[in-house]
Amino acid sequence: MSPRNRVIGLGSGKTVAALVSQIGTLPNRQSLKFIVSSLQIKLEAERKKLNIVDGDEASDIHILFDGADQLDSEYHMIKGGGGALLREKILFSIARKIVILADSSKYSHKLNRSVPVEVHPFARKSFIMKIQDLNTRVTECRLRQLQKGFPFFTENGNIIYDVNFESLSSPGELVNEIRSIPGVIEAGIFPRPKNVIYYRLHEDESFDMITL
């Protein structure tokens, strides 16, 4: 794939926003195409005058950059703190190589934080009932809300529940169970994908520039 035809995937969050700022200084940035997972990163990319393409224009991504909310010792991840988990999973599925940027605070021996679950609004009440029937015990299931108490809606028009489980010891099995619930669009557990490179960020949240 020639540099001019390369498509670079960009996840979401402040780490990716910082990366976009550095990409904006590259001399060859105009020869690259970028596909983004969120409006947040799209706005940052537009400020840097990057060449953005729509998601349906790309069936192949040369390399994808993203962050993580938490990683375990086997590099399974929880993502979706910003609400872009569905689009991020789509990018993961078509990326040749994935680079995860995360500082030391994101690493844990076992996953132990809440799992974002994107749900169609029509399934709001039925999801709460069905999630309780999973083999892994649910300790809390809360609708994500904005500061003024309004529900948080994803860019796909769906709501998000942040679900705490008693155990996340089998993340691959659990994510499949969650996705089997009618009305669930996607869950924020990312079993370790292939072709992944992990970069630990420095304490000041900076990182070494990666050549594109």
The answer to whether 85 touches 114, Cβ cutoff 8 Å, is no
Pick the catalytic residue: 44, 46, 57, 88? Answer: 88
Burial 95-125 (b: 16+ CB within 10 A, else e): beebbbbbbeebeeeebebbbbbbbbeebee
What span, in angstroms and rounded, lies between the C-alpha atoms of 198 and 200? 7
d(CA 28, CA 41) in angstroms, rounded, equals 20
Kindly tell me the burial class for residue 4, based on how many C-beta atoms sit within 10 Å of its own C-beta (0-12, 13-18, 19 or more): exposed
Per DSSP, 170 falls in state -
CA neighbours closer than 13 Å in the CB half-sphere of residue 129: 6
- Report yes or no: 48 and 29 within 8 Å, Cβ to Cβ: yes
Catalytic residue flag (residue 74): no
Residues taking part in catalysis:
88
